[in-house]
Amino acid sequence: MYQEKTISKGRRKDKILDAAEKLFADHGFDGVTLRQIADEAGVDLALASYHFGNKLGLFDAALTRRAEFMNKVRLDVLNKCIEESGPQGPDIETLMEISIRPVLDPDMPLTDGWRNYLRLVAYVNNSGQWGRDAMTKYFEPVLKAYLEAWKRALPKAKDEDLYWCYHFFSGALTLSFAQTGRIDHYSKGLCKSTDLQAACKRMIPFMAAGFKALCDPEGEDQTQNKSIMPQRTKIYLD
């Protein structure tokens, strides 16, 4: 009987977290109440308050639950890749692949819950309210590990350029994982924002080329490249 109660308690807690992921991803932190999340989960408000204290506590728990698993998967993949690559280490193309593909790992199936979580991460990453502190709190260990691997793969890269590369990479990744439907519209259905495998297949070479172009191994400062903008356009923008 005690075991059954414990299982039931755990399931109710997961239902609250599932509902929180969905509603926070749909409406943002300020657009939903703890009561609405409890209603979505089909539980009493008191139970949600008991488990998480308040809305901020629930927001934190919703981000932490899958972040811990995702971080472990991505770090395990990176460490295995480094071990198997020998003294030279993995190249940037390989690092891009293992940076992106773990979200499609068989142990992390893209259920509705995972899709909601990825949309929630996209919301957090693009939020002035949460972007810096929350992304640092939940994903900093992975970022540091991958930055070290990228530096090793691009030994002549300036730190400044690598940080900008990660900035662009993080934005593109979370926008794609947000699955907004925007690409469905302007491609007239040719592309689907929910087709994350198609997105990852194209993002890997795109990002690898971008990293190499900006972190020029030959030492040229890519920020000084000549503009290809027409002169008239430059005048208007000035």
The predicted model gives 203-223 an average pLDDT of 79
- Which two structure tokens, joined as six digits, stand for 70? 């995702």
Q: Provide the residue range defining the domain that includes 208.
A: 63-218
Residues whose CB is less than 8 angstroms from the CB of residue 158 and which lie 6 or more positions away in sequence, other chains included: 215
- Which two structure tokens, joined as six digits, stand for 101? 């593909």
Is the predicted pLDDT of residue 183 greater than 70, yes or no? Answer: yes
Contact 92, 214 (CB under 8 A): no
Does 36 reside within a domain?
no
Tokens 């690898």 sit on residue:
208
Is the predicted pLDDT of residue 22 greater than 90, yes or no? Answer: yes
Contact 95, 210 (CB under 8 A): no
Q: Single out the residue of 168, 204, 199, 167 nearest to residue 183, CA to CA.
A: 199
Does 72 reside within a domain?
yes
Does 157 reside within a domain?
yes
Does 29 reside within a domain?
no
Does 81 reside within a domain?
yes
Is the predicted pLDDT of residue 100 greater than 90, yes or no? Answer: no
> Which residue has better confidence, 222 or 205?
205
The predicted model gives 131-151 an average pLDDT of 90
List Cα–Cα distances, 167 to 143, 173, 211, in angstroms: 11, 10, 11
pLDDT interval class at 109 (50, 70, 90): low
- Identify the CATH number of the domain in which residue 142 sits: 1.10.357.10
Q: What is the 3-state secondary structure (H, E, C) of the chain?
A: CHHHHHHHHHHHHHHHHHHHHHHHHHHCCCCCCHHHHHHHHCCCHHHHHHHHCCHHHHHHHHHHHHHHHHHHHHHHHHHHHHHHCCCCCCCHHHHHHHHHHHHHCCCCCCCHHHHHHHHHHHHHHCCCCCHHHHHHHHHHHHHHHHHHHHHHHCCCCCHHHHHHHHHHHHHHHHHHHHCCCHHHHHCCCCCCCCCHHHHHHHHHHHHHHHHHHHCCCCCCCHHHCCCCCCHHHHHHHC
pTM: 0.79
Q: Other C-beta atoms within 10 Å of 50: how many?
A: 11
Indicate the number of domains in the chain.
1
Does 47 reside within a domain?
no
- Which two structure tokens, joined as six digits, stand for 141? 């260990």
pLDDT interval class at 39 (50, 70, 90): very high
Does 44 reside within a domain?
no
Is the predicted pLDDT of residue 176 greater than 60, yes or no? Answer: yes
Does 2 reside within a domain?
no
**Distance in angstroms (rounded) separating the CA atoms of residues 131 and 164:** 16
The predicted model gives 163-168 an average pLDDT of 94
Residues whose CB is less than 8 angstroms from the CB of residue 26 and which lie 6 or more positions away in sequence, other chains included: 32, 119
